[in-house]
Structure 1
Amino acid sequence: MSMLTPPGMGGKYRITGDKYPRMRRPRHRRRIVLVAGAAVVVLGAAGWGTLQLVDVFSGGDDTKTTAGRGADCKPAVKATTAPVAALPKPAQITVNVYNATPRSGLAKSTADELKKRGFAIGKIGNAPAAYDKKVPGSGILLGAPGATKGAFTVLGTQLKGATTKTDTRATADVDLIIGTAFKNLDPKATADAALVALNKPKPAPTGKC
């Protein structure tokens, strides 16, 4: 009889040999772990699919783009052209040419050149006492306050560096008072290009990030 056979038991209940039964762990715990893992995977996949559907129907790309912008960034606006204020043509501007320098004949030669460039010429002569020999720059454009909205801009293309000044006159004519630094009007090609640029519409600013 084996030592493992309980007392009083024999026959078919007797344990013989040198091999012993092995104890196995219950398998139900492993099944629980596997089932739980599979459930996590399924729930994760379902959640991801839901997010993708929401993103598609709610325009997710635009939302992400907006979120990535800075607080001061504004949506881009389509490029448009800003309207240009109507400027008078040279023929619509009457220019009085006055010489405030010691050089004689300067007012006449300058007036002749302006006439060739399409400007209407008014008075020609020496500058009034208030300006005679007192204009150190290339010249002064003098006119009524309304001249600042057009006449000064157009006439200014003919002489860069000329300053502007307004007075109380009621007429639309403009004075060109030639200063001691004056040499010549700007080259005609340069002045013509400046006139063309004045009449070109400028693109309106667009938002950028």
Structure 2
Amino acid sequence: MRALVVVGLLGVLALAFVVTAIIRDTQGKAGTAEGCPEGWPLADVTLHEPKDVKINVFNTTEEPGRAGSVADDFRNRKFQVKKVGNDPKEIDDVAVLRYGPKGVGSAHLLQAYFLNNAVPGYDEKRTDDVVDVVLGNGFQQLATTTEVNQSLGDIGAPRAPKGSCPSPVAK
């Protein structure tokens, strides 16, 4: 009988401890806009499907028509290609992804198509949800579907860039 009383008392104490911990939790709003400093942009960290991603494709290499062929590859993969053209500044990297807070999740997906070798070009002042894909001299080809899936597994979930907060509502 004494053992049941002790076990019951321990159960009540454990329940009280758990309730107190939940009520006093200071991290309950972590990852939401409520804990965000005033003036910081809200970053859309939703990993979008290709059909929901809007991109512009620009070429900086000396190979004419490269942006058009890569844009066609992206269209075949169901991306929404808005603009295709040349960028005057030549880059030696594989690619540069230029985006704002609304394009964080989209840029994260695109990063996988470059096997995480694209240089992020986050601009907190940019207001649209379009990602500029700027092809550089190091670009060879887009990753296959299998490679994209493996790359997404390697790089994990999208995170809000420094100086921004994750958006509480996925759009």
Q: TM-score range by the shorter chain?
A: 0.5 to 0.7
1:92-131 Cα deviation digits (max 9, x unpaired): 111100000001111011011111111111100111x3xx
Q: Which residue of 1 aligns with 2:70?
A: 110
Correspondence for 2:142 among 163, 176, 185: 185
Q: 2:57 aligned with 1:97, yes or no?
A: yes
Point out where structure 2 has 5 or more consecutive residues left out of the alignment. Answer: 8-44, 158-171
Q: Which residue of 1 aligns with 2:129?
A: 172
Offset at 1:195? Answer: 5.3
Q: Which residue of 2 aligns with 1:16?
A: none
TM-score (normalizing by structure 1): 0.49
Q: Percent identity?
A: 25
Question: Structure 2 matches for 1:32-51, cutoff 5 A?
Answer: none
Q: 2:107 aligned with 1:152, yes or no?
A: yes
CA contact (8 A) 2:97 2:107 kept: yes
CA contact (8 A) 2:99 2:130 kept: yes
CA contact (8 A) 2:102 2:128 kept: no
The secondary structure found in structure 2 opposite 1:121 is strand
Offset at 1:183? Answer: 0.8
Structure 1 residues 196, 91: CA separation in 2 closer, same or farther (over 3 Å shift)? farther
The secondary structure found in structure 2 opposite 1:180 is coil
The secondary structure found in structure 2 opposite 1:87 is coil
Offset at 1:154? Answer: 1.1
Question: Structure 2 matches for 1:1-209, cutoff 5 A?
Answer: 86-127=46-87, 129=88, 132-133=89-90, 135-148=91-104, 150-160=105-115, 161-167=117-123, 168-194=125-151
The secondary structure found in structure 1 opposite 2:58 is strand
Question: Which structure has the greater CA radius of gyration?
Answer: 1
Point out where structure 1 has 5 or more consecutive residues left out of the alignment. Answer: 1-53, 60-84, 200-209
Measure, in 2, the Cα distance between the counterparts of 1:86 and 1:98.
24
CA contact (8 A) 2:113 2:142 kept: yes
Moved >3 Å (runs of 4+): 192-199
1:53-108 Cα deviation digits (max 9, x unpaired): x99x968xxxxxxxxxxxxxxxxxxxxxxxxx642211111110000000111101
The AA in structure 2 aligned to 1:164 is P
The AA in structure 1 aligned to 2:63 is R
Report the aligned-residue RMSD: 2.9
TM-score (normalizing by structure 2): 0.59
